[in-house]
Amino acid sequence: MAFVTTAEVCDANQELIRSGELRAMQPIFQIYGRRQIFSGPVVTVKVFEDNGLIRQFLEEKGNGRVLVVDGGGSQRCAILGGNPVVQAQNNGWAGIIVNGCIRDVDEINGCDIGVRALASHPIKASKKGLGEQRVPVNIAGTRICDGDWVYADTDGILVSQTELSV
């Protein structure tokens, strides 16, 4: 999709919004990374205060995908840090959305990737690899499934069941 703002996508797709095929996430995320605008097909991960699965995914080729991480909204530690974000950037991920905290903000802000998270936190998560992958998650009032599409810019984050063309 050529660059179109999320506001324009909403204006042009009122029927998809009414039907629930296009959803806007509640505006709870902070913007990190140099790429403020990103979109792509979704890969979901559900973890709690553990980043082992997140790191595994980001070691793969991203091919323009967006990793959506349901970290349970925990603000007791960071489940994403600078090293995995650099790896994600180098592996071609378009973005990462984290329902939880990140750390190494200065390093992440230097990366050419889009990152959204609730906040930053200096304590690191465990690395046991516990969690679920490619499962539906509920974040910011929105159900997100593996294979959905995300469209993010400075106005917000949209989730669609299909790739959109405007």
Q: Could you tell me if residue 10 is inside a domain?
A: yes
In which domain, by residue range, is 129 found?
6-160
Query: What pLDDT does residue 2 have?
Result: 52
In a domain, 165, yes or no: no
pLDDT for position 1: 44
Domain assignment present for 44: yes
Q: Is residue 143 part of a domain?
A: yes
* pTM of model > 0.85: yes
Q: Which residues of the chain have pLDDT under 70?
A: 1-3, 166
- Residues 6 or more apart whose Cβ sits within 8 Å of residue 53: 45, 47, 129, 130, 131, 133
35 in a structural domain: yes
Which residue ranges make up the annotated binding site?
A: 81-84, 103-104
Establish if 166 belongs to a structural domain. Answer: no
Tokens found for residue 150:
């995300």
Query: Which segments are annotated as binding site for Mg(2+)?
Result: 104
Query: Which residues carry a binding-site annotation for substrate?
Result: 81-84, 103
Q: What is the CATH number of the domain that holds 57?
A: 3.50.30.40
Domains in the chain: how many in total? 1
Instruction: Confirm whether 129 is domain-assigned.
Output: yes
Please give the pLDDT value at position 137.
98
pLDDT (0 to 100) of residue 166 = 60
